[in-house]
Structure formats: structure tokens, C-alpha cells
Structure 1
Amino acid sequence: MQRRAKIICTIGPATSTEERIEELAQAGMNVARLNFSHGTHEDHRAVFERVRRVGARIGRPIAILQDLQGPKIRLGVFPDGPVELAAGDPFTLWMEERPGDTTGVSVSYGRLCEEVRAGDEVMIDDGLLRLHIESVHGERIETRVVVGGTLSDRKGVNLPNSGLSLSSLSDKDREDLAFGLELGVDYVALSFVRSALDVHQLRYLMPRTNDAPHIIAKIEKPQAVENIHDIIAASDGIMIARGDLGVEMPPEKVPGIQKMAIELANRMGKVSITATQMLESMTSSPRPTRAEASDVANAIYDGTAAVMLSGETASGAYPVEAVTMMHRIIEEAERDARPARVGVTEALERGRLLVFPTAIARAAVVAAEELQVRAVTCFTISGRTPRLIMSQRPTREIMAFTPSERTLHRMALYWGIKPVRSEVRYNTDEVIAHVEDVLRREHFARDGDQVIIVMGVPVGRGTPTNTIKFHSLGEHRLLAEGDED
């Protein structure tokens, strides 16, 4: 059985060549992440085109995820190199651009002094350094170092106790989004989401067509956790971004939030991605720690649709080895256990318009489990039907056929789904014959095996999913031969 959970790889300096991208794909990469916090548009265009060429060459779609930077606050630069801060040192944050040294540095958000107050905490470099705000004077913030360390250029700044008014979409994000739409990215990840309104604002900037990228809301702020239900409902999936989340909130709360968010996403039929520091030690070591292996496995036990590698593949010394190891851990975890089928519950409880297609998906999965069929197959244009089937977490193989190039790539992120490019079929006999051909070609099934086919009838007209057909491979050919006699 093929691996069910998908692997997302961040493409960076260590993996941006076409040869390296193909190595990642052969090792198990399903989705390539373009991190727009770094690199130029031309850099990203080149990587985008390489990923598409690699996918075409290996005969397997690779989805492309554009990760917008968001309103990340960063320090300025230290012209004379990194500086060391010790606990108890005074340190000033300036609103105006000025070179940094041991006494202070500028910050990228000019209104910061208006939105913080004495007593607030400032976390720097993912919480490795911590400052305490003592006073605010005009264009400067006076702080005292609580936890010291090394400071270097453009480190990230978090203020967990402050409700900043930053929009989740910066001017840079809007420019990057327009570029991503021009390229044809499959997913857009929105950083520092606080409410469903942030997701709606991003969707408003996208075309109202099936070709529009799907939105992944990144859960990395306390406000996002508070509004998690509405955010998942508004988006197409979520990413539990544990780096900033673990800085903005107590680290001991992150595992529980991860489990809750994954379960809720599954209940609502949405994609869930678990990210950050999954195999962090493999940036410099050919093997992960035992704790990292357990972390990946536990995300699989939680029911995550995908796991993500960041620095491990973007700039690490062992990017291909990291993907190979991730693949092995997932396969082993999926042999041990699988999450409960909970995906239909939320839709039924909320009385959505999707209840009928959801009920069809549930019935198909229940029947597949009861009858122990070889595979569940479905035909889709938008990708909705395989997403509903995916949310049930069936143990059977799932194959999704689509004539839409965008949907084909998008489904590369769907848990357990093998996407297959297919022309539009105009009658049920054509559908069955095509399913049989592909199942045999891909060695998914052989004559005599039973499969379930989920489709909309009449076929070829974009009819919503309304039919489940039980079929034995070879039966269609025998019937056709009988007709000829």
C-alpha cells in the first residue's frame, strides 16, 4: 500500500537545481514549498518551472505551495557583525532606520512604539532571546535583556502579550500573491492569520474560478487558536506552524493544540499540515534524533494529512536523506495505527449543502471497508469528492481521476489520494473501462478484484457526485465480449 500522508519540502539554496528537485521527488516529495520570505520573483519562477518539468518527467503531479511572508517584524542589520547580549543589559529598539550594535537596533514595524507598553515581552529569533519592555519614549522602546544570546541581521521579533494591528497581508504579500497567481501556484499559505476575516480578504484577491489556488491558513498566533473553527471553515486547509506558535504561546500547549487542530480539520473535510522542526537535526546530521522520529510518527497518529520539512531541505546538508527518512517514518507509523474516520461528522452536524455528497463519500468508504474492496476510485473536476473521501481516512487505496490540470496538482496534497490525469468520459461504460485500464497499469488491482467507483451520473456533464458502483475487474470486458457473440 502506498504512503498516505504527504510530504512537503521547502525548496532553497540546497535544493533549487532541477537535479536536486528530482532527487527530492524520487525520495518522496509530494509538494514543493516556495518560501516568499526569501528569494526574488525570478528565483521562484525558476524553481516553479523546474518543479513542473520534474513532475512531467517522472509522471507524477507535484503540487506547488506559495508561502507568503506575512507581517513578520524583523530587526535591522548589524554592520559590524553579530553582537552578544547578556541578561541584565539595557537594549533599545528604534523605530527609525539606524545601524545596530550592543546598545540597540531598529525594527521593521514603524508603529511598534504605539502598540506596546511597559511590561510587555519581546521574543527574538524564535524565542531564543527575550527582552522586557521597561518604557516607551516617542520613537524608541527601552528594554532590559532577560535571556541573552547572539543577535544578528534581520532576526524575527514576536510580541506574545501585545495585540498588534498589523494586517495579515502586507504590500509585499499582495505583490507576491499577484506573481503567484501569474505563475499558477496550487496553494497559497497565509501567515499570521488571526481570524476568518484574514482568509476572506485573501480570497477576495483571487479569481472566482476552480483554477484559483486553495488557501492554507497558518495557525501560529493565539488569536488563531481562539478562532480556529471559523478559520478552518473559511480556508481550504490549515498549517500548524509550531515555530511561531511555540513562541507566541507556552511550548507545553503546542502538542495539545496540534491534536485539536488536526482533528477539527479532519472533521470538517479540510487538509491539515504539521510543520516546523520535524527533523531539525538533519540540517547537519544524516540521522534524526529519536525524539524527532517520534514527533513525526505522532503527527501521523494524530491524523495529519501532511508533514513539512523547512530548513532540512531548504538549506540543510542532507535534504534527500531527510525526505527518505520522513518517508520511512510515515510508512512505519501508518502500519502501526490509523486515525478514526471522523470526517463526515462536522458536515452532518452543521447541516451543510454538501451533506448529500458527504453521505455518498461516507457510504463509499464504509462499503469499501465492509467488503474489503481493493480500491476506491472517483471522478472529479473540482477535487471535492476525493477530499470528502480523504476525510474518512479509509484503509483502502484511493485513486482520483480528473481532466483538470489544476485539480490534478492540487490533489497531490490530499491524504491517501493517488491523482490520475483523465479525459472527460461521456458514459458509464467508458468510465469503467478507463478505471480498469489504469488500475491494471498502476498495479493497483487485477482481474477478479473488487473496486468501488464514485461518480456523478449522467457522466461528462459536471454532475455532482451521486452514484456508487461496485465493480469486479474483468467483468466489464467479459460483458462486452458476450455482447459480440
Structure 2
Amino acid sequence: MRKTKIVCTIGPSSEKEDIFEQLCLAGLNVARLNFSHGSHEEHQKKIDMIKRVREKLKLPIAIMLDTKGPEFRLGLFENGSIEKKEGDKFIFTTDKITGNEQRVSVSYENLAKELEVGDVILVNNGLSKFRVTNINGNDIETVTEVGGVISNRKSLAFPDKMLKQVYLSEQDKADILFGIKNGVDFIACSFVSRKQDLVDVKNFINSNGGADLEIIAKIENNFGIDNIEEICSECSGIMIGRGDMGEEIPFEKLPAVQKLLIT
């Protein structure tokens, strides 16, 4: 009997009912829904489809709701994107502005209060790198260390910097309530950094009728790695997010870190 389970993300290429049925027959065990993208209406259609297929095939296909988590993103640019070269100065700001060649807004309103001179800002999964040179009110002044094209809504990361953003956002709360209503089986919590993140999620779930849900902690940064033992005490399992983890850890070290986490 095969003991290893297969989790498949249900997206544009796999949300068609006939394709999903083939995946189930090929060995899919868990259907993952990524709530970083899509509306509740779109996810409802996927959940309804998954339930129809598993009833038709008489297979115990579980449903996993993957939360957006405490993500940090750029705002919009006037022309959609810009290009920065090594040595260029650039400003990240918490002001609500439309970005240009000199500055761009960020999604976290307290960022300028928490970063310090010398901190690193990674953009677009680490493809571009900026170092903080000065904090001026709501503006975070930086110099480009690794250039490239940056565009609308790209991700931000701050290696080895624990920001004070509340872990459980209003969007995640609404998504989890949606999942409880639809009887999902797993909640995968993104960017878990410490035990308290999961305690907050479990308290919210338990107080809203979801006490039977299984919690999966996604380990995606250095804080999650450092606190792995206390995190494991509050969840049913872990997922290793190598994509986001690769922003903080050199790619050649990822296999060793992954092995350390699962042993």
C-alpha cells in the first residue's frame, strides 16, 4: 500500500472536472486551493467540483485551504514596471502613491517604523535586492545592490527581520470561515514563524466551529526554521515552502535544510 500522499494544487490547468477526475484516478489524495489568488466565488466552484468528483469516484479526496498569510507587496507603478541598476537610489514608502522611477508604495503601513539602516529588502522572490540607507518619515531610502525589472504587486521579503504585523489578517479570517462553512479538511498556514501564530489560528478556528480541522504549518523563512520544534507542537504537519525560503537561504543549502526539517 502506498503510504506517501500526493497534494495537488487546483488551478487553471486542473480545475476542469474531467482533468481533475484523471488526477484523482492517477493518485491525487489532497486538493490544495491557493487563497492567495481568486475570489470566494471562484473557490466555491472548485470545491463543489471536487465534492462531485470524489462522490462519483468514491475516493476520500481531502480539501486543503492554503491561506495567503502575512504577505508584503509593492503597490502599482504608473507604467506597470521599472528597471533599476546596481547603485541606483530608490524609495519604498508607506504613503498611498502610484509608483514611478524614484519610489513605490508598500502594503505594510508600519514598515518605515520597523526597518533600520542596513536592513535588506528583497523584491520579486529575491531577484532584486535593496539595502536601507536612511529612514525619512514614511520613506525608506535604499540603494540597489542587485538590479532588475520590478513590477506591480511583486512580493517583498526582509531576511532575518521579524516584523510586527498581526499574523492572522482579516482576509485570512474570512477565508478560514469560508473553509469551515464548506467543510475543508486542512488549513495550511503560510509563513508561520513561531508557535503563537498557530495558537492564534487555532483559537480562531475553534471559536468558529472548526475544531476538527487539521492545521498544517508552512515553513518559509529563517524564523520558522529556528522555531520548528515549538511550531510542530501546535500543528498536525508541516509543509516546506522552498520558493519563498529560497529568498533567505542560498539555493544550494535548501536540500540540507529540508532534510533537517523532516527528520
- AA matched with 1:176: D
| Alignment map for 1:338-377 (pairs within 5 Å) | none
Counterpart in the other structure of 1:51: 50
Contact 1:206 1:212 in 2 (8 A): no
Size of the alignment, in residue pairs? Answer: 262
Considering only aligned residues, what root-mean-square deviation do their CA atoms show, in Å? 1.7
Paired residue secondary structure (1:5)? coil
Q: Which whole-Å deviations, capped at 9, do the CAs of 1:117-155 have from their partners, x for residues lacking one?
A: 111111111111111111111011111111111111111
Q: Which whole-Å deviations, capped at 9, do the CAs of 1:382-408 have from their partners, x for residues lacking one?
A: xxxxxxxxxxxxxxxxxxxxxxxxxxx
Counterpart in the other structure of 2:192: 193
Contact 1:115 1:163 in 2 (8 A): no
- AA matched with 1:222: N
Counterpart in the other structure of 1:122: 121
Counterpart in the other structure of 1:87: 86
d(CA) in 2 for partners of 1:27 and 1:87? 48
- AA matched with 1:10: T
Counterpart in the other structure of 2:181: 182
Counterpart in the other structure of 2:253: 253
d(CA) in 1 for partners of 2:186 and 2:6? 14
Counterpart in the other structure of 1:69: 68
| Alignment map for 1:385-400 (pairs within 5 Å) | none
Paired residue secondary structure (1:83)? strand
Q: Which whole-Å deviations, capped at 9, do the CAs of 1:64-110 have from their partners, x for residues lacking one?
A: 11011011000011241222221111111110121122222110001
5+ residue gaps, structure 2, are: none
d(CA) in 1 for partners of 2:23 and 2:78? 37
d(CA) in 2 for partners of 1:199 and 1:135? 34
Contact 1:136 1:142 in 2 (8 A): yes
- AA matched with 1:59: K
d(CA) in 1 for partners of 2:135 and 2:121? 13
Counterpart in the other structure of 2:214: 214
d(CA) in 1 for partners of 2:12 and 2:87? 38
Instruction: Report the alpha carbon displacement of residue 54 of structure 1 after superposing the two structures with TM.
Output: 0.9
| Alignment map for 1:20-39 (pairs within 5 Å) | 20-39=19-38
- Higher helix proportion: 1
Counterpart in the other structure of 2:11: 12
d(CA) in 2 for partners of 1:144 and 1:162? 18
Contact 1:115 1:162 in 2 (8 A): no
Q: Percent identity?
A: 41
5+ residue gaps, structure 1, are: 264-485
Paired residue secondary structure (1:244)? helix
- AA matched with 2:100: D
Counterpart in the other structure of 1:149: 148
- AA matched with 2:212: A
d(CA) in 1 for partners of 2:250 and 2:71? 20
- AA matched with 1:234: E
Paired residue secondary structure (2:215)? strand
Counterpart in the other structure of 1:135: 134
d(CA) in 2 for partners of 1:54 and 1:45? 14
Counterpart in the other structure of 1:159: 158
d(CA) in 2 for partners of 1:131 and 1:41? 35
d(CA) in 2 for partners of 1:218 and 1:126? 17
Instruction: Report the alpha carbon displacement of residue 216 of structure 1 after superposing the two structures with TM.
Output: 0.2
Contact 2:90 2:143 in 1 (8 A): yes
Counterpart in the other structure of 1:40: 39
Query: Which structure: larger Rg?
Result: 1
Contact 2:180 2:210 in 1 (8 A): no
Contact 1:121 1:161 in 2 (8 A): no
d(CA) in 2 for partners of 1:165 and 1:255? 30
Contact 2:160 2:223 in 1 (8 A): no
Instruction: Report the alpha carbon displacement of residue 184 of structure 1 after superposing the two structures with TM.
Output: 0.8
Counterpart in the other structure of 1:236: 236
Contact 1:88 1:145 in 2 (8 A): yes
1:204 to 2:203 alignment: yes
d(CA) in 1 for partners of 2:210 and 2:109? 39
TM-score of the superposition, structure 1-length normalised?
0.52
Instruction: Report the alpha carbon displacement of residue 248 of structure 1 after superposing the two structures with TM.
Output: 2.4
d(CA) in 2 for partners of 1:59 and 1:6? 17
Paired residue secondary structure (1:136)? strand
Paired residue secondary structure (2:205)? coil
Instruction: Report the alpha carbon displacement of residue 211 of structure 1 after superposing the two structures with TM.
Output: 6.1
- AA matched with 1:106: S
Greater relative contact order, per chain length (Cα 8 Å cut-off, separation 6+): 2
TM-score of the superposition, structure 2-length normalised?
0.94
- Higher deviation after alignment, 233-242 or 249-258: 249-258
- AA matched with 1:214: E
